[in-house]
Structure 1
């Protein structure tokens, strides 16, 4: 009986821990806007201009993710040329986003924004390295 109770306690503890980790989830445009507003001290006008950019970026990412999933489920792999094109499109969208952000933010805010992006990019690379090991 003690063994069963002990096992149930462990299962419940594991379940609650796993659910707590899932709560963070993917950031929404609202969450990203709040973080950027806090970190860069954005004005109301800047926030109203940045919000549609973030929403558009999130929609593009979601569409790309769904397209990738559909391709994976079909068992097809994109050709080398298709991968190059996808990568070029992604870089083009990122450059356009940064250009828009530069026009909205002042010089100090944009420098801080770029530093935040570079730090986030480094974090992603570190996570990928850990996953491969």
Structure 2
């Protein structure tokens, strides 16, 4: 009887712990700003200028994801030209974001930011390679 009770308690304990784990999810603008502040040693003025840029970037990404989900659910696949246009739009937005950030950061911070961005891009490429395998 004690063994059965112990097993039941353990099953419930593992079930609740497994459900309590947080999902990865996408980082919020606040988390991104905190991370940038730590990595780049941002001033208060820089933080106040970067914060709206991060919110705008997240809003753009969410809109693009919603559009992609809607087209996927409708069963319509984008043509090669549409995919190229979407990629170009994304690249333009990324370049505009980086230009805005560059105007806010000082030289030392900019070098560090570019290094971090390059590492993040490489990490993303590696993840995509692993996903395709």
What is the TM-score with the length of structure 2 in the denominator? Answer: 0.87
- Cα distance between partner residues in 1 of 2:20 and 2:72: 27
The range that moved more, 2-11 or 38-47, is 2-11
Residue 28 (structure 2) pairs with residue 28 (structure 1): yes
What displacement does 1:4 show? 9.4
Of residues 76-85 and 118-127 in structure 1, the stretch that sits farther from structure 2 once superposed is 118-127
Which runs of 5 or more residues in structure 1 are unaligned?
A: none
Matches within 5 A, 1:33-112: 33-112=33-112
Offset, 1:132: 2.0
4+ runs of 1 displaced by more than 6 Å? none
Q: How has the CA–CA distance of structure 1 residues 112 and 132 changed in structure 2, closer, same or farther, with 3 Å as cutoff? A: same
Mapped to 2, the partners of 1:42 and 1:53 lie a distance apart of 15
Evaluate the alpha carbon distance shift between residue 84 and residue 16 of structure 1 in structure 2; reply closer, same or farther with a 3 A threshold: same
How large is the Cα RMSD of the aligned pairs? 2.1
- Give unmatched runs, 5+ long, in structure 2: none
The alignment covers a number of residue pairs equal to 132
Normalized against structure 1, the TM-score is what? 0.87
Aligned to 2:115: 115
Deviation at 1:10, TM superposition (A): 5.2
Note closer, same or farther for the CA distance 1:66–1:4 as it changes in structure 2 (3 Å cut): farther
Structure 2 distance, partners of 1:4, 1:128, is 46
Cα offset, 1:70, TM superposition: 0.3
1:17, CA displacement in angstroms? 3.4
